[in-house]
Amino acid sequence: MIAAINEAVDFIRKHYEHKPAVGIVLGSGMGSFTDEIRIEKEIPYSDIPHFPVSTVAGHKGKLVFGEVGGKKVVCMAGRFHYYEGYTAQQVVFPIRVMKFLGIETLLLSNAAGGVNPAFQVGDMMIITDHISQLIPNPLIGKNEQELGPRFPDMSEPYSKKLIARAKQIAAEKGIALREGVYVAVTGPTFETTAEYKMIHVMGGDVVGMSTVQEVIAAVHMGLPAFATSVVTDLGLRPEGMPPVTHEEVLHAAKTAEPKFKALFCELIAQL
């Protein structure tokens, strides 16, 4: 595992000489964040040794290197989801590679379903905590001591410092922000009504199919993480409302894009 990470890192360093300070993972519908990057280099995932290989025809993903707000960043344009058939370890491989490339902060984003009755489609939520028990943990298996401890502490999975900074930026810029708990599920089915209710009762504000395995891998390595969700649909909808569709999710994510870009750009500039 460590050898595979090092081989990926060596390959990337041959093509891009700078050390990125920030790693960014873009969620569904948020791919145009790369417009905010002064791009220096792009490397397709398919070129990088040991990166998960996409089985989906036409699926393209790449690492984008460049600058945002005077900071060197590496951005994953396209992430790996457990529901695509990758193992939890494959899903988090790029996070480990970015850490070995030198990132000191990890910023993630996703589209999620709202189960907090106060939430509306298009809301942006800072993830303050998560519930990971419905998905496989990426740290299951032999522990790589070089990455982190066998039993990592999870009392602050999302950096309180970064959350405070983001809230201050949002207040200054007049960006409305929610805060709450993200419940991770495997997907690819959206939830049944009973499942959305369970997720609400168990303490969730939103539910989604990404992010949490990546954050667990980051915390394992002592890498501070910050994540936001865009609420793209409401799980607990009144009787008779039409069901959630992927198109609806992508459309709603797009409407929140300006808020998301403004917050992430300023957060990166202030790191």
The dihedrals phi and psi of 206, each to the nearest 5 degrees, come to -140, 165
Write out the binding residues for ligand HPA, residues 168-197 only, by CB under 6 A: 185, 187, 190-191
Interacting span for ligand HPA (CB under 6 A) from 90-98, 206-214, 217-225, 255-263: 206-214
Strand 225-234 relative to strand 62-68, pairing: unpaired
Interacting span for ligand HPA (CB under 6 A) from 42-50, 164-172, 230-238, 256-264: 230-238
Burial 200-216 (b: 16+ CB within 10 A, else e): beeebbbbbbbbbbbbb
Least separation in angstroms between CB 169 and ligand HPA: 25
Least separation in angstroms between CB 239 and ligand HPA: 17
Q: Mark 38-77 with x for binding to ligand HPA (rule: CB under 6 A) and - for no binding.
A: ----------------------------------------
Least separation in angstroms between CB 5 and ligand HPA: 29
Distance CA 225, CA 37 (A): 20
Task: Tell me the one-letter amino acid at 102.
Answer: G
Q: Which is nearer to ligand HPA, 63 or 135 (CB)?
A: 135
- Answer for the pair 24, 225: CB distance below 8 angstroms, yes or no: no
Between the alpha carbon of residue 64 and those of residues 2, 26, 43, 47, the distances in Å are 23, 11, 7, 13
Distance CA 253, CA 110 (A): 9
Least separation in angstroms between CB 111 and ligand HPA: 4
- Answer for the pair 49, 8: CB distance below 8 angstroms, yes or no: yes
The CA angle 49-53-57, to the nearest 5 degrees, is 140
Residue 211 lies near ligand HPA (rule: CB under 6 A): no
List of residues 6+ apart from 199 with CB closer than 8 A = 115, 183, 185, 191, 207, 235
- Answer for the pair 75, 197: CB distance below 8 angstroms, yes or no: no
Least separation in angstroms between CB 106 and ligand HPA: 20
Interacting span for ligand HPA (CB under 6 A) from 85-93, 172-180, 203-211, 215-223: 203-211
**Which residue in the set 82, 232, 260, 266 belongs to the binding site for ligand HPA (CB under 6 A)?**
232
Least separation in angstroms between CB 116 and ligand HPA: 12
Q: Which is nearer to ligand HPA, 112 or 139 (CB)?
A: 112
**Which residue in the set 112, 212, 223, 227 belongs to the binding site for ligand HPA (CB under 6 A)?**
112
Instruction: Please return the burial class of 60, using the count of CB atoms within 10 Å of its CB with bins 0-12, 13-18 and 19+.
Output: exposed
Least separation in angstroms between CB 56 and ligand HPA: 18
Q: Which residues of this chain interact with ligand HPA, rule CB under 6 A?
A: 111-113, 185, 187, 190-191, 207-209, 232-233, 235, 244, 249
